[in-house]
Amino acid sequence: AQKVTQAQTEISVVEKEDVTLDCVYETRDTTYYLFWYKQPPSGELVFLIRRNSFDEQNEISGRYSWNFQKSTSSFNFTITASQVVDSAVYFCALSEAHTGNQFYFGTGTSLTVIP
C-alpha cells in the first residue's frame, strides 16, 4: 500500500493564482515526520519543510503555507500568489520513527505556473 498519496499528478495555474497541493499519508507510528520537497527542472531536491507528528501547528513561510491535519492524515501545501519560478515537481514524504530515516515519497505533483 502506498504510504504517501499525492492524487494530483499535474496542476496548471495562471500566475498570481493560489494553488494547493494535496498529500495524504498512512502510518501506524505515533512518531513520524512529514516533508515537502521541490524538484525544479534542474533535478535537485530542495527541502521546503519538515513537521513532526506532535506538532499540528500550521506554518507559513512567505508565500508558502502548510496545513497538517492528523485527523485526516493530510499535509497539504499551499502556494499563494504563484509565480513562474514555482513551476516544479513537488514531493511529499513520510519518515517513520520505527523504520529510521527512510523516506517514503509520494509520486509527486507537477506544477506549471503560466505567465
The residues binding another protein (CB under 8 A) are: 31-33, 35, 37, 43-45, 47, 50, 52, 91, 93, 95-97, 99-108
Cα 80 to Cα 15, 46, 55, 92, distances in angstroms: 10, 19, 23, 18
**Closest distance to another protein from the beta carbon of 101 (Å):** 5
Q: Which is nearer to another protein, 82 or 89 (CB)?
A: 89
**Closest distance to another protein from the beta carbon of 39 (Å):** 9
**Closest distance to another protein from the beta carbon of 21 (Å):** 16
Which residue bears the cell 498519496?
A: 5
Please give the DSSP secondary-structure letter assigned to residue 97.
Answer: G
Q: Which amino acid is at 8?
A: Q
Q: Which is nearer to another protein, 18 or 55 (CB)?
A: 55
Residues 93, 102: Cα–Cα separation, whole Å = 10
The C-alpha R_g of the chain, in whole angstroms, comes to 14
Q: Which is nearer to another protein, 18 or 59 (CB)?
A: 59
**Closest distance to another protein from the beta carbon of 114 (Å):** 24
Q: Which is nearer to another protein, 36 or 113 (CB)?
A: 36
Q: Specify the 3-state DSSP secondary structure of 105.
A: strand
